[in-house]
Amino acid sequence: MMRYDLAVFIGRFEPFHLGHLAILRRALALSPRVVVLIGSAEAPRSAKNPWSFSERVVMVQAALGEDASRVTALPLRDHLYNENAWLAEAQAQVASVAGEARSIALFGQAKGASSSYMKAFPQWELVDAASVPLLSATELRRLLFSQEPGALGLIEANVPAPVFEIIDAFRKTDAYRQTLDEFRHVQSYRDSWATAPYPPVFVTVDSVVAHSGHVLLVKRKAQPGRGLWALPGGFINQEETLRDAAIRELREETRLKIPAAVLRGSLRGQAVFDHPDRSLRGRTITHAFYFDFPSGELPSVRGADDAARARWAPVSEVQGMRASLFEDHFFILEHFIGAGW
């Protein structure tokens, strides 16, 4: 018997596994329609987000078979430093398909901090649909990249058969090889400080340089995030201040000819970005500095040091670069120059 006009299921589904399928089947048993909001919809491909939004839509549809016609999959983008923007986007996506639905239920599984979002929608009835005990998506991603004996068999046992076919095909692509390389790099990085008495907290700096309607970006030469665009930045040295470290990294990576004194005089703002999951490398807090030059000819730049390339990107282009910007750099740019995006 149907109890709700519409059911909502929110997740990242990296990958879509049997636990997800059990919850979705429960939602379909109690509602004629289900909207699945697929999180991190425009995040760059990484070891944490191996599959694009469209690839995860295919996973959901393939797992459901004939019932796929009753499910609408919609993108839900990250808003790391603006929870209200994330909530508003989720509400808007559901409203776009709700129509005359009066009773709406949010389905999920309460499993600690990762499911705290389920209490953020008091207008929808909360249904805690307990799932079968299986490996988590995090564990499945580790198996995907670990190359451990039997890893593939464990993945196969924990995902719907059509999803396993998609995952197995993914393992033969350049995208997988690139992501595997990043995973190995991050694991090696983490192993290097695994014996520390306490987990370290890394401090980095980034520079947002705005000039005549453009922003200075660099293309990363090394992992993690090789090939993605990023803000010029890096780790601080023991003997320098945060501001001086930002200016040093900026000049090293872009060969920007603006003198350091002029850069200091053009500093218009700074902020700390400290989302616990902002970096795969571990707990990394960055201090971003905003330098603004409202007009004038764009200075010449070129990639150097850790940057394969450097270029001035029009602000209008940056607005659409979520999927190609490293870590949380889109949100840093949004903070300083993206009002009204």
| Rounded Cα gap, residues 96 and 204, in angstroms | 40
CA-nearest of 48, 39, 318, 331 to 186 is 48
For the chain, counts of helices (H) and of strands (E)? 11, 12
Summarize pLDDT for 43-66 with one digit per residue, the tens: 999 999 999 999 999 999 999 999
Q: How far apart are CA 74 and CA 107, in angstroms?
A: 16
Nearest-angstrom CA–CA distance, 303 and 3: 59
**Residue 209 predicted with pLDDT over 70:** yes
Separation CA 246–CA 204 (nearest Å): 9
**Across residues 94-111, what is the average pLDDT?**
91
What architecture is the 6-174 domain classified under in CATH? 3-Layer(aba) Sandwich (3.40)
CATH superfamily of 202-337: Nucleoside Triphosphate Pyrophosphohydrolase (3.90.79.10)
How far is 340 from 334, CA to CA, in rounded Å?
Answer: 9
Q: What is the pLDDT of residues 177-206, one digit of tens each?
A: 999 999 999 999 999 988 989 989 999 999
Rounded to whole angstroms, the Cα distance separating 213 from 199 reads 41
Question: pTM of the predicted model, to two decimals?
Answer: 0.92
pLDDT confidence tier of residue 131, bands split at 50, 70 and 90: low
Domain boundaries, the chain: 6-174, 202-337
Angstrom distance (rounded) from CA 264 to CA 54: 44
What's the sign of the alpha-carbon dihedral 86, 43, 223, 236?
Answer: negative
